[in-house]
Amino acid sequence: RRSSCTASPMALCLCATSSRTAPTTGASPRGWPITSITLSTLPLICQLGNFSIHMALRDLRPAGSKTRKIPYPTKNPFTWLFLLVSCPNYTYEVGSWIGFAIMTQCLPVALFSLVGFTQMTIWAKGKHRSYLKEFRDYPPLRMPIIPFLL
């Protein structure tokens, strides 16, 4: 069976062998790619988490103020990641890109995710260091971007 991919050879996307089935995910008996539907929820959940973190960070300081506070989780479950990492917005962003890369199975997206992760790790480490310097009572178990690792 011929590939349905119309991309040029220069495009490094891994293409599907059928227009109805996502690459390597298979399909349910009704023709719905269940794995693709499941995988598409990861980027959506991560984007909701990223938005929640940005709202929590926005609410940390009053308008016009320059005072900084330690970010803590709120009642929103997406902000609970603040218990483990200093920059959960980057954690959610990377999760979203990784989910998108898995869902699309496209090499350029995976490479973009890797480069983005590297850059966001640099930013998260810098922010984490500044939190540690600025706040003596900063939670000691927090890591910059990946819980318990990095």
Of the candidates 125, 127, 135, the one whose C-alpha atom is nearest the C-alpha of residue 69 is 135
Q: At what angle do helices 107-134 and 88-104 cross, to 10 degrees?
A: 170
What 3-state DSSP class applies to 106? strand
Burial of 40 (0-12, 13-18, 19+ CB in 10 A): middle
Task: Detail the DSSP E strand segments found in 101-150.
Answer: none
CA 132/CA 86 separation, integer angstroms = 10
Domain membership of residue 45 (yes or no) is: yes
Query: Tell me, what's the pLDDT at 111?
Result: 96
Domain membership of residue 42 (yes or no) is: yes
Domain membership of residue 5 (yes or no) is: no
In the numeric block, which tokens belong to residue 129? 């260091």
pLDDT greater than 50 at residue 4: no
Q: What is the rounded average pLDDT of the residues 115-122?
A: 96
pLDDT greater than 90 at residue 64: no
Residue 92, domain extent: 35-134
Query: Tell me, what's the pLDDT at 118?
Result: 96
Domain membership of residue 149 (yes or no) is: no
pLDDT digits 0-9 by tens, 36-61: 666 678 889 999 999 999 999 988 88
Give the residue, 42 or 33, on which the prediction is more confident. Answer: 42
In this prediction the pTM is 0.73
Domain membership of residue 46 (yes or no) is: yes
Query: Tell me, what's the pLDDT at 130?
Result: 93
Query: Tell me, what's the pLDDT at 21?
Result: 45
Domain membership of residue 95 (yes or no) is: yes
Q: 23: number of CA atoms within 13 Å, CB side?
A: 14
Q: How many domains does the chain divide into? A: 1
